[in-house]
Structure 1
Amino acid sequence: VVIRPGESIPVDGIIIEGSTSVDESAITGESIPVQKDKGDKLIGATINKNGSVKIKASEVGEDTAISRIIALVEEASSSKAPIAKMADKVAGVFVPVVMGIALVTFIVWLVLGYDFSFALNRAIAVLVISCPCSLGLATPVAIMVGTGKGAENGILIKSADALETTHSIDTVVLDKTGTVTKGKPVVTDIIGFDIDDNEFLKLAASVESASEHPLAEAIVEKAKEENLTFSSPENFTAQSGRGIRADIDGKKIVAGNEQAIREAVGNNSGFDSVFDKGNELASQGKTPMYFMADDKLIGIIAVADTIKDDSKEAIEALKARDIDVVLLTGDHKNTATAIAKQAGINKVIAEVLPTDKEEHVRKLMEAGHKVAMVGDGINDSPALARADVGIAIGAGTDVAIESADIVLMHSSLKDVATAIDLSKAVIRNIKQNLFWAFFYNSVGIPLAAGVFYLSLGWKLSPMFGAAAMGMSSVCVVSNALRLRGFKPKNIKNNKSGNDEIVLIENNEKKKEGKTMTTVINVNGMMCGHCKATVEKVTKAVEGVSNSIVNLDEKNVTIEYAEGTDLEKVKKAITDAGYEVV
């Protein structure tokens, strides 16, 4: 199958000719296009961005990834059980029970020697004062007002079940791309070397203006925001995965990733400190791009998918309500951890496929949690359908919106907390309505039956009984209408924002635990070879998941599992010929 730029990939397959970059955000959630070369696997329903490739189909029809996602959605949706409503059950037996009480009342008064008229009045009073209406109205009116109020605030609630269930949510699972983040790459860092930042950005935008890569679009967009005028590139050439070249105002510009620049300059160790800076940016979840002018490195531009303006505030609001927040994403763990740190999320599950998302949500539910899943893409659909409450971002895909129970039309995470507050207000209102309905009937029926007549002389005329019955319904409806005064709350989290991030490994064989971080100062590291050696020996220590050397600051950052012996890490560094300070 030949796939041209801009086309959707029709089946799962393997590239046998050509290379390209692919937008896999619909499946994996990764907003940055992924480079694909010969031998790499492509997933159906993803978008080919800027290269023509020939693929050999490996899975078709029901065996493709997108078909398996659809099957999971259907299975999860059909497995949901409706919430049993106590009011409906009571109302179903209320009428025959009341008729029985009225008949017993009539017979008892006749047996006690009272005349037919007196006994009949007591029986009729029982019938007219009893109020199945108040019981029947208690739930639906509150739900009707609640869903209407939700719509006013841009929260579309698809069913009464969803509105009722939302109040008990104790865990909110968030997708990253398009949910916590904006879903579009933007320039985050501009680092020029012996060149003015605006001049550097102008050169970078000039060469990238001829490229179709999404990262290039981010750089050009940044230059436009800064009102910079850039030149048209000449002799432009692009090699997929190997960067681009062009002549700009007489300068030969080369732009690309670390691999492309290393190929351009050869094994020049003088650039190691620059690449270290790029790796530092990459560890923060950013994508660094390097630029050369006339064989001289002039700077780095980092691009990333940044968090939405209100994401941090929304997550703080959820924490203030004692709700656990989990970031669940297909992105690399470094990117996921960086975004989690910015947003204030303490639990991260990264590098997961759509089927894994559904599985992680199911595990949380099996552990006794009431789970809400918030997402916007096709890849989130199985998890949205599986969760106790699926919440879709309004700007998301039709598949996600169809799978969800609640849709946030403003695409704001702050509305998740509002939806939970609204559900709690509705449930509280329903309980109040049911209490007063039961209280009214438990007092009114004995009074109408004449239970207090012999001892206190109290009896109730059927006319007043009918009036009381009407008033009970009015009271229930009036109480439900109080929900129209509901307003979103702005509850701030007073807890410390310096909590550790727990990276939950996406592997059943690994134990879930805290990922700790420490920085060790090391003397004797001078070059890229030293950097590679220290990173290699430290990663070999049991419990160490990652290590990043900073040659400029002469230190190494160690990421390790809780309980790891750091003395072994220091010994490994010393044994390699370096001094631990």
Structure 2
Amino acid sequence: MKHEDKKNHQHTGSCCSGSSSPEIESKTCCSSSSEAASTEEPSSCGTKSHEHSHSCCSDTIALTTDKGQHSCCSDHDIVSGDSDIEETAEYRVYGMDCPSCAATIEKSLKTLNDIQHVTLNYNTGKLQVAAASESALLLIPSSVEKLGFNIETIQSNKKMKTYLIEGMDCAACANTIVNHLKTVPAVKDVRVNFSTGKAQIEHDNEADDIIKEVSKAGYTATLVTSSRQSAESRHHKGQNGPIVFSGILIALGFIGSHTGIASYMTTVLYAIAMIVSGYKPAKSAYYGIKSRSLDMNVLMTVAALGAAVIGEWLEGATVVWLFALGVALQTRSIEQTRNSIRGLMDLAPSEAWVKENGQLIKKAAEDISIGTTIVVKPGDRIPLDGEIINGESNINQAPITGESIPVDKIIGDAVYAGTINESGSLEVKVTKLVEDTTISKIIHLVEEAQEKKAPTQAFVDKFATIYTPIVFILALFIMVIPPLFDGAWSEWFYKGLELLVVACPCALVISTPVAIVSAIGNAAKNGVLIKGGTFLEKAGAINAIAFDKTGTLTEGKPAVSEVVSLAAEENQLLAITKTLEDYSNHPIARAIVDYAAEKKVDSLQGSNFKILTGKGVQATIQETVYYAGNAKLFSDLGTPLSHCWSHIEKLQNEGKTIIIVGTAKSVLGIISVADTIRHTTVSALESLKQNGMQQIVMLTGDNEGTAKMIASESRVDRYFADLLPEDKVKAIQQLQHEGYQTAMVGDGINDAPALATADLGIAMGGAGTDTAMETADIVLMADNLEKLPHTMKLSRKALAVIKQNIWFSIIVKVIALAFIFPGWLTLWIAVLSDTGAALLVILNSLRLLKMRK
């Protein structure tokens, strides 16, 4: 981050929330009731230092340096610490109910001086601003709030903890808390936000100590573990009061007009209802017009005022009330989709039990370093990624992989933050910091995915930017031109107002992003990462899937598939083979040893172990030399193989690796080893076929025999064998040339060229594998295919919902436009059609959040 040195100016006093000209006073208080003790040090305002004793402004920022200097600026914060302010900042904006809101905010902020870059993503509500000066950044929160939205800084200092402060009634209260906490040695930095009731504090001591210190100042503090959730709840608090009150006034006015009450009284009731419900959109409209933004607030405000001008007070009040009600319902629904992964964010505990000098101490998760030993009790969630160093347990990994069945974990196994320790106490050595845990990466990737526009969304947004101005100009034309010829001013003015309302493209522009965010959120909760709307749309169009064999369709490690006993009992054969292979680390040897152990067969006493390179192994057991290896080994020994050659050929034709066991004189038996099909493979592929997948293909570097056997067991449609990595790319290209939209499923590392060539790259087993999470378009966190059918079905459902939303939105607009000129449409019906259509589109998209396997 860049920093600027402050420029010193010779001013005696200033209050940034008021006039820009400095006031020569020893003390200025913009709030009628706020008092703050003066300091001996000079004060600064904004980015410039001013020589005055003190300045206190209600709802403004006061910067407090280490020397106790104060300033008054319109950012709602009181800050203690370094006086240099960064030139870039991130915020979370609440209250946007359609993408046009984001466009209005962007346009408004770009008109501010020294603002270089503004990006506001509607899906996530994340605002990123770059400015040439710190004073420009300080104006961002107040500018956004003037438009009618709530804003909260995303704290870049990860050491900062957020506290909810209760009891503050003016900016001076915030100043009191800052001044008190400055006296606490463990406190490094303090930021108290009066308007949101929050404090962000960097400190070395425990959270309980800070809470006690705040209570000494006369206020109540509570540690906030999810700032987004608290901000949303505060945003919605008290929002419905004006709507309910306006509705009552309109109802009273309507009843009064039918019971003989004077018309001026009903007009007063309607006017008050318009003011109560319309104040916020009118304020937003004013600042929207200043920034040359033609959003729904502008259109609705003009329509309501126009209705009042021509004496249609009931319609004007109803328009405003329906609009406010629709916005409230839309906003509440939108927040549900925007925070569809909030459950993931809250999964990892904010604190952990740390083992130090034989004692357990509770520490904040962000204060724990790599290598620290933490203790996880039965029933608790694991706070950080790590490796078990003591204990064993069943771990529910559903938050990461989507798998509902707990996994057995023993010493040496990896565990992930957010997963649940169901039984047994564990000691875990931390391997990743809190910001680097698997669940943190999932949250980061999902938020990034939500910020990426899908092709359909980009097209709709572009269409809306053209549609709205055209309809607005057409409305003005209808208000002015036709009355010149027939003189029916009020009639054409009313039609123009209706057209203004119809010009709102809310339902259309919201049709795509809400569906995409809902689908991505659903997938994340089920252990699937879809890295953006583009890939979601692509997944919905896929009709062929190519699978890498090893580690994808199969377990990726050899296992004993058959034991053929010829001149020895099976247990005796296994005992001899286990003894021969016990000292080898070869995967086939380990597979045989593990199989014998499962059968509870013990090793025998052996000596003179030798590895026969390229052939096998030998050892002396009970004074007899035994061998285990391939056919070449026994041919060289001169051992007769004719009586067992039929078994050898049969197993080799099935694509299995054979291990012949015997002496130089005879063969005792044959053990075949093969890579086995995953238990979820067949059911997953069958489900894909049932959901309309036209081609399921297997790609493998194995020989024809092995490929044919695995293809038969897994029931794929086609297979390509003897492939090098570049040959897999050619196989994908062949499918594409045949007209298929092709996805490739692999491990994200060895199959990188094929994943990149395919229309959609899908990596499997992303949990704990950073490379897989970074390289593929879609990541299946579990190490099996059972989530793939759900992903493809979800993607197709999302495409269907998007199409439904778009067509429904367009049809509603066309009907509304057609009903204007015959006189069948009224203002309140126009508003109802607009907000109602937007709400129905949102509710239709929300179905994707609830979709299950």
Q: TM bucket by the smaller chain? A: 0.5 to 0.7
Give percent identity, aligned residues only: 34
Alignment check: 8 A CA contact 2:567 2:667 kept: no
Alignment check: 8 A CA contact 1:158 1:406 kept: yes
Determine the C-alpha separation between the residues in 1 that align with 2:617 and 2:766: 33
Name the counterpart of 1:171.
544
How far the C-alpha of 1:174 sits from its partner, in A, is 0.9
TM-score using structure 2 length: 0.45
Determine the C-alpha separation between the residues in 1 that align with 2:735 and 2:473: 48
Name the counterpart of 2:599.
226
Name the counterpart of 1:70.
none
Q: Which has the higher contact order (CA 8 A, sep 6+)?
A: 1
Alignment check: 8 A CA contact 1:130 1:445 kept: no
Q: 2:737 aligns with which of 345, 353, 366?
A: 366
Alignment check: 8 A CA contact 1:381 1:399 kept: no
Determine the C-alpha separation between the residues in 2 that align with 1:400 and 1:349: 24
Q: 1:157 aligns with which of 488, 506, 530?
A: 530
Matches within 5 A, 1:307-322: 307-320=677-690, 321-322=692-693
Gaps of 5+ in 1: 1-80, 489-581
User: Which digits, 9 at most, give the CA deviation of each residue in 1:432-482, with x for residues without a partner?
Assistant: 1111110111112343xx3012xxxx3413x44334322221111011111
How far the C-alpha of 1:178 sits from its partner, in A, is 0.5
Matches within 5 A, 1:268-287: 268=639, 270-287=640-657
Gaps of 5+ in 2: 1-452
Partner SS state of residue 167, structure 1: helix
Name the counterpart of 2:752.
381
Q: What is the letter of the counterpart of residue 652 of structure 2?
A: A
Alignment check: 8 A CA contact 1:129 1:469 kept: yes
Q: 2:579 aligns with which of 203, 206, 209?
A: 206
Determine the C-alpha separation between the residues in 2 that align with 1:212 and 1:468: 71
How far the C-alpha of 1:131 sits from its partner, in A, is 2.7
Q: 2:847 aligns with which of 482, 485, 488?
A: 482
- How many residue pairs get aligned? The number is 398
Name the counterpart of 1:460.
826
Name the counterpart of 2:802.
430
Q: 1:273 to 1:319 in 2, by over 3 A?
A: farther
Q: What is the letter of the counterpart of residue 179 of structure 1?
A: T
Matches within 5 A, 1:191-202: 191-202=564-575
User: Which digits, 9 at most, give the CA deviation of each residue in 1:116-164, with x for residues without a partner?
Assistant: 4443332222112333111111000001101111122222111111111
Name the counterpart of 1:357.
728
Determine the C-alpha separation between the residues in 2 that align with 1:318 and 1:164: 17
Name the counterpart of 1:298.
668
Asked if residue 405 in structure 1 is aligned to residue 773 in structure 2, the reply is: no
Matches within 5 A, 1:468-547: 468-488=833-853
Alignment check: 8 A CA contact 1:317 1:414 kept: no
User: Which digits, 9 at most, give the CA deviation of each residue in 1:325-366, with x for residues without a partner?
Assistant: 111111111111111011112311111111121122123213
Partner SS state of residue 414, structure 1: coil
Deviating more after overlay: 92-101 vs 209-218 = 92-101
Q: What is the letter of the counterpart of residue 379 of structure 1?
A: N
User: Which digits, 9 at most, give the CA deviation of each residue in 1:186-207, with x for residues without a partner?
Assistant: 0011111132211211111111
TM-score using structure 1 length: 0.65
User: Which digits, 9 at most, give the CA deviation of each residue in 1:250-270, with x for residues without a partner?
Assistant: 432111111111112x2x5x4
Q: What is the letter of the counterpart of residue 145 of structure 1?
A: S
Alignment check: 8 A CA contact 2:772 2:779 kept: no
Q: What is the letter of the counterpart of residue 317 of structure 1?
A: S
Matches within 5 A, 1:56-95: 83=455, 85=457, 86-95=459-468
Partner SS state of residue 253, structure 1: strand
Determine the C-alpha separation between the residues in 2 that align with 1:242 and 1:443: 80
Name the counterpart of 1:336.
707
Partner SS state of residue 411, structure 1: coil
Q: What is the letter of the counterpart of residue 702 of structure 2?
A: D
Determine the C-alpha separation between the residues in 2 that align with 1:159 and 1:310: 27
Name the counterpart of 2:558.
185
Determine the C-alpha separation between the residues in 2 that align with 1:410 and 1:212: 27
Alignment check: 8 A CA contact 2:698 2:716 kept: yes
Alignment check: 8 A CA contact 2:743 2:762 kept: yes
Q: What is the letter of the counterpart of residue 155 of structure 1?
A: V
How far the C-alpha of 1:398 sits from its partner, in A, is 4.5
Alignment check: 8 A CA contact 1:142 1:429 kept: yes
Alignment check: 8 A CA contact 1:130 1:469 kept: no
Deviating more after overlay: 116-125 vs 151-160 = 116-125
Asked if residue 440 in structure 1 is aligned to residue 812 in structure 2, the reply is: yes
Matches within 5 A, 1:247-258: 247-258=620-631
The structure that has the greater radius of gyration is 2
Q: 2:480 aligns with which of 99, 107, 125?
A: 107
Q: What is the letter of the counterpart of residue 169 of structure 1?
A: I
Q: What is the letter of the counterpart of residue 351 of structure 1?
A: D
Q: 1:395 to 1:296 in 2, by over 3 A?
A: farther
Determine the C-alpha separation between the residues in 2 that align with 1:326 and 1:398: 27
Asked if residue 289 in structure 1 is aligned to residue 659 in structure 2, the reply is: yes
Deviating more after overlay: 406-415 vs 81-90 = 81-90
Alignment check: 8 A CA contact 1:146 1:422 kept: yes
Name the counterpart of 2:502.
129
Partner SS state of residue 841, structure 2: helix
CA RMSD, aligned part only?
Answer: 2.1
Q: 1:377 to 1:241 in 2, by over 3 A?
A: farther
